[in-house]
Amino acid sequence: GVLNKMATGNIWDGLTPSVPADFVWEPISAFFPLIFGTLALSLVITLVAYRKGSLFDKFIFFYLVLSMLIHFNLERYYTHYNHEILDPNNQHILARAWRHYGISDTRWLGQTDDIPRSQISCMYGLEFLAAYLCGPTVTLTIIAAMLGSSWRWVIQPVAVTAQAYGLLITWLPAYYENLDSVPVDDPMMFWGYFLAMQSPWLFIPIIMIFQAMYHVSVAFSEAKKVKKKKN
Cis peptide before 173 (omega within 30 of 0): no
Tell me what pLDDT residue 113 has: 74
pLDDT, tens only, 30-73: 999 999 999 999 999 999 999 988 999 999 999 999 999 999 99
Contact 8, 25 (CB under 8 A): no
This prediction's pTM:
0.91
pLDDT band at 6 (very low <50, low <70, confident <90, very high): very low
| 34-37 own/partner pairs: CB under 8 Å, 24+ apart | 34/93, 34/97
pLDDT, tens only, 200-211: 999 999 999 999
Q: How many angstroms separate the CA atoms of 229 and 93, rounded?
A: 60
